[in-house]
Amino acid sequence: MATNKPTETLRDGSLKATIWKNDGEKGPFFSVSLTRIYTDDAGNYHDSDSFSGSELLRIARLASRAYDRIADLRQAEANRPA
């Protein structure tokens, strides 16, 4: 079974905005997963989709960067030869 790989991942420390390209009936579209990386007591890495109050401004700025990057990716798709 093939897995969909992210188009791009933007980082701010332990925070990630992962951009995914999807194919729909009307053509490609992009979505974003916002996560926080943490390690458990055994040292294993995990992703969480909850954020502390002190991380909210950073997540908002990261989301803004992802928004701008998706605009660039859409433009590249539009300029791609058919």
What is the per-residue DSSP string for 4-47?
PPPSEEEEETTEEEEEEEEEETTEEEEEEEEEEEEE-TTS-EEE
Q: Look up the domain containing 67 and give its range.
A: 8-79
Tally of domains within the chain: 1
Is 2 among the domain residues?
Answer: no
Flag whether 71 is in a domain. yes
Predicted TM-score (pTM) of this structure: 0.87
Q: Could you read off the pLDDT of 10-23 as tens digits, one per residue?
A: 999 999 999 999 99
pLDDT of residue 9 exceeding 60 = yes
In this structure, the strands spanning 8-12 and 27-39 are: unpaired
Residue 3 lies in a domain: no
Is 60 exceeded by the pLDDT of residue 1? no
Q: What is the CA radius of gyration of the chain?
A: 15
| Res. 67: pLDDT tops 50 | yes
Distance CA 6, CA 34 (A): 13
Residue 1 lies in a domain: no
Asked if residue 55 is part of any domain, the answer here is yes
